[in-house]
Amino acid sequence: MSDIRWIGLAGGLLCAFLTPADVYGAAVMRGAVPDFSTGDFPWVPINPEYAPPASGPGPVTYDRAQAGTVRTTVQGRMRPADLSNPNLKPWVIEALKKTNEEALAGKLRYASRASCRPPGVPQFLVQGQGFGGIHFLQMAKEILLITEADTQTRHIYLNVPHSGHVAASYSGESVGHYEGNELIVDTIGFNDKTFVDDLYDVPHTTQMHIVERFKPTDDGKGLEVNFTVDDPGAFNAPWSGIVRYRHSAQPRLLEEDSCAEQTAAGFGEGFSVPIAEKSDF
C-alpha cells in the first residue's frame, strides 16, 4: 500500500474516533485570534439563566419565597422576580411587581421567542430559553451570530469605532476586537422594546450599554460569555452575568425557523406576533 493511501486511511480512522468537541478543541487558536466558529455544531447554553459573577451586583433572580408558585408553559418559565434586589430603580420594581402579579394569576408572559420578537441583548445569548443554539460565523471584518430560535441575527463589526449617530434598534450596534484569547464586544444604541431578561420581563432604557467578553474554555470544547450591563436609567449600578455553552452533541444544520407563521398556526396560544405592514422590496 502506498504511503499516500496509508496517510488517508490513518486520517479517516482518526476522524472516526474524534468527537465534535475534540475537533473544536484542537482548533481553539487559529493565527492570533481564538476560534469560536461552529460549523454544524452550534453553541448551546448550559443553563437558560444568567449565572451571577464572582463578586458585585448580579442579574435579577426569582423570589424564593414564592418558589412553589412557579408556572411553566410553552412560552417559557414564569418565575416571580425578586423585588428586594437593591440595584433596581423604583420604576423597575413597580414594573416587575405588576408582571409578578400577572404571572401568579396565570397570565401568559410575552417571551420574545414565543411571540416572534427580537430578543435584544443580552437575552440573545439565551434565546429560546436555552434550548436553541447559536451559530458563530467568524470572518475577518465581521462576526455573525445566528440563533436557531427564529433565526435571529446579530452583527459584530470588528476593529471599527461606533457610528457617530447610532440609530436605536432591538440589538443595538455592536463593535468588537480581540484581546488575547477573548473577543470583546461593546454594544450601544438600544431601543426600549426588549427585556434584559424575559424570564422576568426585566425592562431597560435607551441608555443601556453592554460589554461582553467571549472566551473559549475547556481547551476549546466550551465557551463562556461574561457581560456587564450599564443602564443608569434602570439600575443603580452596573451589574454582570455569565452564560456558558457547550457544542451540540449531534450536528444541527442552520435552517430557517419561520416563527411568526408557526405562531399564526396556533403555536403561540393567542400571543400577538409582529406583522409586516408592507413588503421589504
Q: Which of 5-14, 117-126, 143-152, 185-194 has the lowest mean pLDDT?
A: 5-14
Give yes or no for residue 204 having a pLDDT over 80. yes
Q: What is the average pLDDT value for the chain, to the nearest integer?
A: 80
pLDDT number for residue 2? 42
Decide if pLDDT at 83 tops 50: yes
pLDDT of residue 240: 98
Q: What whole-number distance in Å separates Cα of residue 234 and Cα of residue 227?
A: 17
Return the C-alpha cell found at 49. Answer: 439563566
Question: Residues 60-71: pLDDT tens digits?
Answer: 998 877 755 544
Q: What percent of the chain has pLDDT over 70?
A: 73
User: Nearest to residue 263, comparing CAs of 132, 106, 113, 133?
Assistant: 113
CA 108 to chain centre: 22
Per DSSP, helices labelled H in 54-210 are 90-104
Nearest to 141 by CA among 118, 158, 155: 158
Q: What is the pLDDT of residue 88?
A: 98
